Amino acid sequence: MTTLLGLSPEEIQELIQVKEKFRSKQIYHAIYSGIESFDAITDLPLSLRQSLAENFCIFTSKVDTSLDDEGGNCKLRIELSDGLFTECVILSDGTERKTICISSQVGCKMGCAFCRTADMGFKRNLTAGEILEQYLIGSKIAGKLSNIVFMGMGEPFDNIDNLKKAITILNDKNAIGLGARRMTISTCGIIPGIQALAQSKLEIRLAVSLNSAIEEKRRQIMPITQRYPLSDLKSALKAFQQDKNKRFTFEYVLIKDFNMGDEDIKALRHFTSGLSVLVNLIPWNTVEGKPFQTPDRKDINVFCSKLDKLGINYTLRKRKGFGVSGACGQLAYKAKKN
C-alpha cells in the first residue's frame, strides 16, 4: 500500500485525486500531527476517509526491537516494508532535551574502516517517507524530540533528493515545524552535498567527519578521500562558510596509536586554519573485529592539552548510546530476517 508520508500537499492532491486543494492540506497537516489512521482526520468527509484507508497508508515500517539503557538512551531497530532494517537512536542529555539520530540509507557504501555500518555494504536509499517515519516513531516512544542529527546509517548526501524532501517537511510549520538550526547533517566529505547545502535557504548545521588531517592516513580509514582530497574539501568548506557565515563542526574519532600523535595535531592545526570550526572529539567506540583501539583517559587528556596549547577549538563528546550499541560507528545488523 502507498504511503502519503514524504509527499507535498500538491503531490497528495494529485495522488488521491481530490478536487479541493484544502483537503490535501488537511491530510498533509494531520499525518504529521501524530495520527495513526485516516479515521482520526474527523474534519474529512467519511467517504474520503474510507477511500484513504482502502488505498493508502501512513506508516510502512514498524519497530522490530527496542533497546534502552539507564541513561535514557534508546536504539530502535526498524523493519521496512521490504524486510530490510534500518535504525535510529534517541539520545538524552539528562534534561528534557532529546536528540534523534536518523538514518538515511540501509547500510552504507562509503567504506569507512572504523565504522560497523560499512561492514553491511550498501542495500538501498531510504525514501523521504521512511526518513520521516523514524522521527514520528521516535516521537511516539520518547515524546518531544528537540533535535535531529542525520548521523545514523548511511551517508546523507548520497541520498540528497530524499533527504532534502524530508528536511523540507520537517521544517514546514504546517507539518512538523522543527527549526532548521535544530537539524545537523553529518557527511564524510561529499563535496557536491556540501555545495548544495551552502546554496540552500535552510540554515541547517553541518558536521564533517574528518578523523585525520593527513591525506595518507585519512585515505587508509576513509576511502572517500580518494575522490575528494583534503585540499578540495577545505576549499568547499571555506565556500560553505562564506555562504552561510557560521561555524561548522569537524568530527574527529580518536583512535589510539593512529591519529593522536604530534604530527596529527600539527596537521589538524594547519587544516583548521582559516576556518571557523569546532572539532568534536569522539573516542572510538569498540566494534568487534576492527583492528583499532579506544584511547584511555590519559591518552585523551594528553591529546586535549596539546590542542589547548595550539588554540584549537574542540569539545570532547560525552559517550552516549554505547549501552545499547547505538554510539557512533556501531549501527549495523542483518539485512533480512532469518
Residues that are catalytic: 87, 328
Sign of CA dihedral 90, 95, 96, 99: negative
The residue whose grid cell reads 595550539 is 310
Q: What is the DSSP letter of 70?
A: T
- What is the number of other CB atoms lying within 10 angstroms of the CB of residue 152? 26
Q: Give the helix/strand (H/E) hosting 280.
A: strand 277-283
Residue by residue, DSSP assigns 93-157 as: -SSS-EEEE--SEEE-SS--TT-SGGGG-EEEEPPHHHHHHHHHHHHHHHS---EEEE-SSS-GG
Cα angle vertex 28, ends 26, 30, to 5°? 65
The residue whose grid cell reads 592516513 is 217
